[in-house]
Amino acid sequence: MKMNSKPIIVCPDCGKEIEVLKACGASNFFCNHCNELKSSQRVKAANPIVFPAQPEK
């Protein structure tokens, strides 16, 4: 049996797992430990395996 688990996204400040909030086509990142929203740019930079770099056009 193959288990598909979603990748864990961590906070760029504290390193704890963060929540992904999706609404109206946008994704926001919230850290329950820091109790604040995190910049998607910083979250993506801190999680390069989950968000591979896109080539610039």
Is residue 52's pLDDT more than 90?
no
pLDDT tens per residue across span 11-47: 999 999 999 999 999 999 999 999 999 999 999 999 9
Token pair listed for 49: 């395996």
pTM of the model: 0.78
The pLDDT, as a whole number, for residue 34 is: 97
Indicate the pLDDT class of residue 48, thresholds 50, 70 and 90. very high
The pLDDT, as a whole number, for residue 3 is: 64
Helix count (H) and strand count (E) of the chain? 1, 3
CATH code that applies to domain 7-51 = 2.10.290.10
